[in-house]
Structure 1
Amino acid sequence: MFSKACEYGIKSSIYIARESISGNRVNLKQIAASVSSPEAYTAKILQQLVKSGIITSVKGKMGGFEMNPDTLKDIKLVDIIKSIDGDGLYHSCILGLNECDAKKPCALHSRVFTIRKNLQRMLEITTMNDLIDDIDNGLAFLKH
């Protein structure tokens, strides 16, 4: 459903947020290990997240990546996805056709419309705090 980069971006953001709540900055090596992602690939993803304002990068010996714990309730899952994958999830054809809309639908267009709207709603209301709470309560995991 999401690109591999987006999957890593979501998991990295959750990891950074959880550490930030504890007052910790994390470095690239820690993040890549926590999400099982190659470091160079993770670095590019983190750059996108910094550029979009989702995470903060602090340079220097005591530097690393962090998130403001006070803003975690305002950061929605959709923000991370748009930062990395754009909004094609809502608009691109599920079958990959160049033209697909209500006037010229693909074979699955009408069947996925409601599913896509429900997914969009869930992504727009799910916050970083929600995801962290699920992990902290043992209802979800970042890594098996």
Structure 2
Amino acid sequence: MFSKATEYALRAVIFIAQKSSEQEKLGLAEIADAIHSPQFFTAKILQKLTFHNQVISSVRGPNGGFYITDAAKQKSVKSIVEVMGDGDLFDKCVLGLNRCSEKNPCPMHDQYKPIRVDFVTLFEHQTIEEMAQEMNSGSFFIRNEESS
């Protein structure tokens, strides 16, 4: 549904929210390993997420790394999707038609409409902090394991 970059961004932000603070920053390698993403790709994603401290923050240097502020933890999960450029998925036709609307519906429009409302509501009301807290319960995971 989302681009691979957005999927990794969601995982990275949840991990950073779970494990970092302004005093304890995380390095690129640790984040990439935690979400099972290539370091170069993770670096590009983190660069996008840190632009103007939109979602996460970073500090350069020997004691540097990535972290998330308490204020940023209160942002919705939808904000991550929007920063990554996939926000249009919340409004898009399920069949990908650009003219689909109430007046000009696709064959799935009426059935998909309530699903879309639930989908948008989920992403708007779930905060980054809530996702991190769920991870702390130990019942959830954010890393795909390699198959043997």
Give the TM-score of the pair, scaled to structure 2: 0.88
CA distance in 2, matches of 1:108, 1:84: 27
CA distance in 2, matches of 1:22, 1:132: 16
Shifted more, 15-24 versus 37-46: the winner is 15-24
Q: What corresponds to 2:91 in structure 1?
A: 91
Q: What corresponds to 1:105 in structure 2?
A: 105
- In the alignment, is the contact (CA less than 8 A) between 1:12 and 1:31 conserved in 2? yes
CA distance in 1, matches of 2:115, 2:51: 30
CA distance in 2, matches of 1:84, 1:125: 18
Q: What corresponds to 1:28 in structure 2?
A: 28
- The Cα offsets for residues 88-127 of structure 1, whole Å up to 9 and x where unpaired, read as 1122221122221111111111111101111111111101
Please show how residues 44-123 of structure 1 align to structure 2 within 5 Å. 44-51=44-51, 53-68=54-69, 70-123=70-123
Amino acid corresponding to residue 101 of structure 2 in structure 1: D
Aligned pairs, number: 143
- In the alignment, is the contact (CA less than 8 A) between 1:3 and 1:85 conserved in 2? no
Deviation at 1:138, TM superposition (A): 2.4
Amino acid corresponding to residue 9 of structure 2 in structure 1: G
Give the TM-score of the pair, scaled to structure 1: 0.90
Runs of 4+ more than 4 Å apart: none
Deviation at 1:18, TM superposition (A): 1.3
Pick 1 or 2: higher relative contact order, CA cutoff 8 A, min separation 6: 2
Deviation at 1:71, TM superposition (A): 1.8
- In the alignment, is the contact (CA less than 8 A) between 1:93 and 1:100 conserved in 2? yes
Amino acid corresponding to residue 59 of structure 2 in structure 1: V
- The Cα offsets for residues 26-85 of structure 1, whole Å up to 9 and x where unpaired, read as 1111111111111111111111111151000111111111111x2254211011011113
RMSD: 1.7
Q: What corresponds to 1:130 in structure 2?
A: 130
- In the alignment, is the contact (CA less than 8 A) between 2:22 and 2:67 conserved in 1? no
Q: Which runs of 5+ in 2 are unaligned?
A: none
Q: Which SS does the other structure have where 1:65 is aligned? A: strand
- Correspondence 1:12 to 2:9: no
